[in-house]
C-alpha cells in the first residue's frame, strides 16, 4: 500500500475545552486522504507559543511529507501559530512583503487604520510565502523544511477551506499521481466479533485497509458498515482490488447469516 504521510494540527484553546468540535482537522484529513496521503496523526494544542513550538517539532521529528495546521493566524493576542512555528524552525519573524501588501490593501479598501495587531498577519517566519485567503484577511503561511512541506491555514472554517484548497491546487501540480479508492458495504445480523477473524485474514491476504464501523448494538441489533480502501499509482489496479475484496467480504457476511442492506 502506498504511503505518503501527513500530519494535521489544530491550534486553539476552544478545541481543548471542547467548546468547538474539531471539524477543521476532519476536513483537512478527508481532503488529504482523498489525495492518497496517509494521515498519521492529528494533534490539538492551545494558543501558547511554547506548546505550538513543541507540537511542530514533534511532528517534524516524525518526518511527514506534509503538515497542515489550522487556527491562530488572526490579529488577536492569542493568535500565536506563526510565532510557534518560527520558534520550532529557529527562524526570525519578518514582514513578508506580499502578505503585507495584501493585508494593507484589504484594510485600506475599507479606510481602516493599520494597527500593530493588523500588521501582525503579515509577520512570517523568514523564508515562508503567503497563500492567498480570499475568504478573509490573514493569508496562509507556506514553508518547506528539509523534506516536509508545511501549510498554516486560518481557523475560521471557510477561510481554512479556501486557503487549503488554494494550496492543494498548486501542490498537486508538483506531485506524483496517486489514486485513492474506497467502497463500503452495510450488513445486518452479523456481529462485529463474528466477522472479525475473517476480516483479519482478508487484510493479511490483500493488504488493503478494512474497517468495520458498528452502527447498532453488538448483540441485540448488530448492524455494521464495512469500509474497504486502498491507494496506488495505478487507478485501475486499486479499483479492481477494492471491488474484489468488497465481493469477498459480502460473501463471508452472507455465509454468517447476514443481510446486505
By CB under 8 A, name the binding residues for its own copies.
13-23, 25-33, 38-47, 51, 55, 58, 74-78, 106-107, 110, 112, 115-118, 136-137, 156, 191-197, 199-200, 203, 209, 211-214, 217-219, 227, 229
Least distance in Å: CB of 144 to its own copies? Answer: 23
Nearer residue to its own copies within complex by CB, 19 or 174: 19
Please identify, using beta-carbon distances, which residue of 115 and 147 lies nearer to its own copies.
115
Least Cβ distance, residue 22 to its own copies (angstroms) = 5
Q: At what angle do helices 23-34 and 157-173 cross, to 10 degrees?
A: 20
- The answer to whether residues 145 and 125 touch, using CB atoms and an 8 Å cutoff, is no
Provide the 8-state DSSP code for 8: E
User: 115 vs 177, which CB is nearer to its own copies?
Assistant: 115
Question: Can you point out the beta strands (E) in the chain?
Answer: 5-11, 38-45, 66-70, 93-95, 123-125, 129-131, 140-145, 148-153, 179-188, 209-214, 223-232, 259-260
Contacts with 79 (C-beta within 8 Å, 6 or more apart), sequence order: 47, 72, 73, 120
Q: Are 25 and 70 in contact (CB under 8 A)?
A: yes
Q: In the bound complex, what is the minimum distance in angstroms from residue 164's beta carbon to its own copies?
A: 12
Tell the smallest beta-carbon distance from residue 147 to its own copies (Å): 20
Smallest separation, CB 202 to its own copies (Å):
10
Q: How far is the CB of 24 from its own copies (least distance, A)?
A: 10
DSSP state of 36: T
Residue pair 148/5 in contact by the 8 Å Cβ criterion: no
At residue 114, the 3 state secondary structure works out as: coil
Amino acid at each position: 500500500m502506498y504511503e505518503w504521510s501527513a500530519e494535521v494540527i489544530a491550534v486553539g484553546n476552544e478545541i481543548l475545552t471542547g467548546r468547538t468540535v474539531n471539524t477543521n482537522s476532519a476536513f483537512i484529513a478527508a481532503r488529504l486522504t482523498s489525495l492518497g496521503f496517509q494521515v498519521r496523526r492529528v494533534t490539538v494544542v492551545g494558543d501558547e507559543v511554547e506548546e505550538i513550538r513543541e507540537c511542530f517539532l514533534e511532528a517534524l521529528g516524525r518526518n511527514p511529507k506534509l503538515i497542515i495546521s489550522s487556527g491562530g493566524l488572526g490579529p488577536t493576542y492569542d493568535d500565536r501559530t506563526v510565532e510557534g512555528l518560527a520558534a520550532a524552525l529557529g527562524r526570525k519573524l519578518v514582514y513578508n512583503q506580499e502578505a503585507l501588501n495584501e493585508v494593507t490593501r484589504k484594510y485600506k479598501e475599507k479606510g481602516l487604520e493599520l494597527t500593530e495587531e493588523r500588521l501582525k498577519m503579515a509577520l512570517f517566519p523568514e523564508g515562508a510565502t503567503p497563500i492567498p485567503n480570499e475568504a478573509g484577511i490573514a493569508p496562509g503561511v507556506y514553508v518547506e523544511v528539509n523534506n516536509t512541506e508545511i501549510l498554516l491555514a486560518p481557523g475560521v472554517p471557510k477561510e481554512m477551506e479556501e486557503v487549503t484548497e488554494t494550496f492543494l491546487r498548486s501542490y498537486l501540480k508538483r506531485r506524483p499521481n496517486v489514486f485513492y479508492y474506497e467502497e463500503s458495504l452495510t450488513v445486518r445480523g452479523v456481529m462485529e466479533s463474528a466477522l472479525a477473524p475473517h476480516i483479519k485474514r482478508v487484510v493479511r491476504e490483500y493488504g488493503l485497509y478494512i474497517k468495520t464501523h458498528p452502527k447498532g448494538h453488538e448483540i441485540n441489533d448488530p448492524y455494521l458498515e464495512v469500509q474497504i480502501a486502498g491507494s496506488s499509482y495505478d487507478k485501475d489496479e486499486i479499483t479492481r482490488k477494492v471491488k474484489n475484496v468488497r465481493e469477498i467480504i459480502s460473501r463471508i457476511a452472507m455465509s454468517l447469516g447476514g443481510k446486505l442492506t
